[in-house]
Amino acid sequence: MNRRKKIVAGNWKMNLNSQQVLKLMQALNRSEQEFDCDVIVFPPFVYLVDVIDFANGGGRISVGAQNCAATENGAYTGEVSAAQLADIGVEYVLIGHSERRIYYNENHSFIADKLKCSLANNLRPVFCCGEPQIVREAGEQLTYVKQQLVESLFTLKTEEIGQVIVAYEPVWAIGTGLNASAEQAQEMHTFIRHQIAEHYSLAIANEIQILYGGSCKPGNAAELFACHDVDGGLIGGASLIAEDFLNIISLAH
């Protein structure tokens, strides 16, 4: 039986202004809805402190950063280190999101360095992996995702891997309105869990939470979350709308 607790994580990306952040966090905090899952929000850097203050006031939402530097400190203008994020109360960090891979050319070894920096500073990384449409159409998605796992995630030691949350995000379904079917999601999540079991152990694989990210909405979340190996969702656009995000949270149990 799957005893892993579900997670619903909202990646706000480069959206919202301060007033919209205030309104969204107030709506989430004031909701009388019971949260049967862990809820995390990933605001833009400039709003992290404000959102942490709101989250601490409500007591049921955790806060993560959308990125961190691949080095501990130094002359890296514009970067923010994992240590600095931890210092202000951040608990989680997205690592290897497809948009970072595509737009900023983050490669496997660079992502591996970010994983190590986050863990060294007691941040829980949400490691993102997934294939673009051309790879899916060629039927090579398993090979593609395995390389992401082997060259980045599997550089971690056995005592480190248990702190990681994995998010499978089919790139062809991000911001497109498309989404993987429940069968496609389950197939990939099963594959990822099997790879973790082979590299580490079955016990570790059974403990690690694997989220689905890719146009997850109130209309499809229940079917996706019902899959045995889908442990919640990394939500994009729907996390910007309090009603939609709360609806998705209500389906994760």
pLDDT by residue (tens digit) across 44-77? Answer: 999 999 999 999 877 899 999 999 999 999 999 9
**Termini Cα distance of the chain:** 14
In this structure, the strands spanning 7-11 and 210-212 are unpaired
At residue 173, the pLDDT reads 85
Residues 6+ apart with CB under 8 A from 170: 130, 131, 136, 141, 179, 180, 184, 188, 214
- Count the Cβ atoms, other than its own, within 10 Å of residue 165: 24
At residue 2, the pLDDT reads 57
Contact (Cβ atoms closer than 8 angstroms) between residue 31 and residue 54: no
Residue 1, pLDDT > 50, answer no
In Å, how far are 5, 64, 212, 221 from 185, measured between CA atoms? 18, 24, 7, 12
- List the CATH code of the domain at 7-250: 3.20.20.70
Mean pLDDT confidence for 102-124: 98
Which residue among the candidates 99, 131, 169, 189 is catalytic per the annotation? 169
Which residue among the candidates 97, 106, 131, 189 is catalytic per the annotation? 97
Is residue 228 annotated as a catalytic residue, yes or no? no
Residue 215, pLDDT > 90, answer no
Binned at pLDDT 50, 70 and 90, residue 177 comes out as: low
Contact (Cβ atoms closer than 8 angstroms) between residue 253 and residue 36: yes
Question: If you average pLDDT over every residue of the chain, what do you get?
Answer: 95
Is residue 97 annotated as a catalytic residue, yes or no? yes
Q: One-letter amino acid identity for 237? A: G
Q: Distance between CA 11 and CA 8 in Å, rounded?
A: 10
Q: Distance between CA 74 and CA 53 in Å, rounded?
A: 28
Contact (Cβ atoms closer than 8 angstroms) between residue 213 and residue 192: no
Domain boundaries, the chain: 7-250
Summarised one tens digit per residue, pLDDT across range 18-49 is: 999 999 999 999 999 999 999 999 999 999 99
